[in-house]
Chain A
Amino acid sequence: MTTERKPGFNTLAIHAGAQPDPATGARATPIYQTTSFVFDDVEHAAALFNLEVFGNIYSRIMNPTQAVLEERIAALEGGTAGLAVASGHAAQALVFHVLLDPGDEFIAARQLYGGSINQFTHSFKKFDWHVRWADTTDAASFRAALTPKTKAIFIESIANPGGIITDIAAISAVAKEAGVPLIVDNTLATPYLTRPIEHGADIIVHSLTKFLGGHGNSIGGAIVDCGTFDWLKSKRYPTMSSPSPSYHGITFAETFGNFAFAIAARVFSLRDLGPAISPFNAFLILTGIETLPLRMQRHCDNTLAVAKWLSKHPKVAWVNYAGLPGNEFRALAERYCPKGAGAVFTFGLKGGYEAGIALVSNVKLFSHLANIGDTKSLIIHPASTTHRQLTDEQRTRAGAGAEVVRLSVGLEDVDDIIADLDQALAAV
């Protein structure tokens, strides 16, 4: 028996999950813009609802356009299965809905996207799910936060907005000791730069809204099951390892093996909470992913040039980009994302809060908005926008103090990007 070739990353980005359409032969993945799918007969319907056969029922739960996107992301991450949902935040909510029961706790890095800090602190409290914070630069702080109620650990591979590279393997070791799954938000890195599975992640979440979609046109999120966590052995996750009352007593972990988490997230949590992705958004994001390797490399190359230029500018106090020589995260960046340290970073202005406001008001090529991971270059002053709802202390800890400006460097000519910052800084 010959050994089979494993397709490379570029090939997977274009082909994984997609085949010519069985009905029409269409080569592009069709947009199946339909709510529902007819049953062959009553028996087929029953078998679908019982999860006895694979197939499409209703687009809140699954849709063939969405399915191609799911398999594509799972393949790029090297996981066993994927689930695409309405947004990155929806992906996070569904992951915890599978894992947590009321009264449970999880540990999260305090260096996270501000929206995630809000979601964990305030919204999750309404479900009686409780977050304990740890420092992503210090694996021991996760160990110190463990309690008998801890059910999961959540980190970002590259933290937004701070330009921090997380030592995933060190935190994974804590999760393994504690017998809880490690969830990694890989939004800022994308699987092109780092594959958390190779460093001990059990579940990966994405905001597809950012670099995977890549064109700033669609909100979406994804969950990847790494197939690494043994739910039956743990027995602490009843949704996974106990008979499911809403599916006549089947046990997900037993029936679906190493992709059971992705199935449970779909047929239980997505089915009941409902944040489905639209087929049209799935199509746009899928199209974006085909050029992910090309875009991501250019994003990183442009970002390094911009960061180098800024670090020499007299009005700039500091630049926190892990790709820069001398940066405290440079060694981790070389280990976890050698192709580049991403396209999002922060820098501090000597002029503080007022200077931050002046800079975002004077840029012409950069767009002043609350997103990252677009073809276009984006700028924001977190203290006055995304991180506004946080306390001063939370802001500083999240790397979003008063003088901080965040860039998401786009794919324009790098000379034009730098020229725009140059003229705007002149007005600060």
Chain B
Amino acid sequence: MNHDSYPDAYIRHILVHHRIIAMVGASANPSRPSYYAMKYLKQKGFRVIPVNPGQEGKEILGEKVYASLGDIREPIDIVDIFRASDSALPITEEAIKIGARVVWMQLGVRNDEAAKLAEEAGLKVVMNRCPKIEYGRLSGELGWAGVNSRRISTKRPVLDRKGVQHRLLREDAD
């Protein structure tokens, strides 16, 4: 995978077909980007499990916080890394060990060595992107904020049951 520019279909496929996210570096502080992302992704129907040793045993947005990926006793689809780029390698090694399908590094986080390792183990990798922003971009919601989605579509957007202000991502939508 070319990690400088991902095809929309690649990102869309990941977000449509994976529903359980372990968020490493999830913050309990409501003004931090990870808190924002977690709240949004939960609203879009993802299950988000926070991982943060400093918050172990507490709850963030109603979800129990784990100290490490290895402590989680259920299958994880996406490991979302909200940590500095050099921490991404050990986290990726753990992600491979627990059988995750995707390693996703946040906006500003990139570790090519970790990406290579994950891809060799058959995982998909996304770096330097935010799943909240990507979901909003591809569903059309971010367009309301004037963001260039870099896509064009002649189909009607897919609406959530909640109404016009909520859009859904679907594989066949464009």
Contact = CB atoms under 8 A, between A and B. Distances in A.
Contacts of B146: 62, 66-67, 70-71, 74, 81-84, 262, 266
Contacts of A56: 144, 165
Interface string A218-254: 0000000000000000000000000100011111001
B152 A255 contact: no
A259 B129 CA distance: 13
Contacts of B147: 71, 74, 80-81, 259, 262
A54 B136 contact: yes
A62 B144 contact: yes
Interface stretch (B18-26, B30-38, B64-72, B96-104): B30-38
A4 B145 CA distance: 24
Given A67-B143, A81-B146, A22 B153 contact: no
Contact of B7 (A2, A51, A81): A2
Interface residues of A, number: 55
Contacts of B152: 7, 11-12, 15-16
Given A3-B7, A53-B40, A257 B130 contact: yes
B141 interface: yes
A368 to B, nearest CB: 36
Nearest to B107: A257
Contacts of A11: 152
B7 A40 contact: no
B165 A40 contact: yes
Nearest to A62: B144
B39 A52 contact: yes
B156 interface: yes
A55 to B, nearest CB: 4
B3 to A, nearest CB: 12
Given A62-B145, A71-B146, A74-B146, A4 B8 contact: yes
Q: Which of A22, A25, A37, A54 has the most CB of B within 10 A?
A: A54
B131 interface: no
Contacts of A84: 146
A289 interface: no
Given A4-B7, A40-B163, A52 B40 contact: yes
A21 B133 CA distance: 22
Contact of A17 (B33, B107, B143, B162): B143
A22 to B, nearest CB: 5
Nearest to A69: B146
A294 interface: no
B150 A75 contact: yes
A248 B36 CA distance: 13
Contact of A81 (B33, B130, B148, B159): B148
Contacts of B164: 22-23
A315 to B, nearest CB: 48
A397 interface: no
A302 to B, nearest CB: 31
B16 interface: no
A21 B9 contact: no
A251 B31 CA distance: 8
A47 interface: yes
B110 to A, nearest CB: 13
A71 B107 CA distance: 21
Contacts of B73: none
A80 B146 CA distance: 9
B9 to A, nearest CB: 7
B111 interface: no
A312 interface: no
Nearest to A37: B165
A263 interface: yes
A238 to B, nearest CB: 16
Nearest to A68: B143
A248 B8 CA distance: 33
A103 interface: no
A54 B157 contact: no
A19 interface: yes
A20 interface: yes
B97 to A, nearest CB: 26
A4 B136 CA distance: 20
B148 A19 contact: no
A7 B150 CA distance: 9
Contacts of A4: 7-9
A71 B43 CA distance: 25
B144 A55 contact: yes
A44 B165 contact: yes
A80 B163 CA distance: 27
8 contacts: A15-B154, A47-B43, A53-B40, A56-B165, A67-B143, A79-B148, A243-B31, A255-B36
Name the 9 nearest CB pairs between A and B, nearest first. Answer: A70-B146, A74-B148, A249-B31, A15-B152, A54-B141, A81-B147, A55-B165, A82-B146, A257-B107
Given A62-B144, A75-B150, A255-B33, 6 more contacts: A7-B152, A25-B156, A40-B165, A80-B148, A247-B31, A259-B147
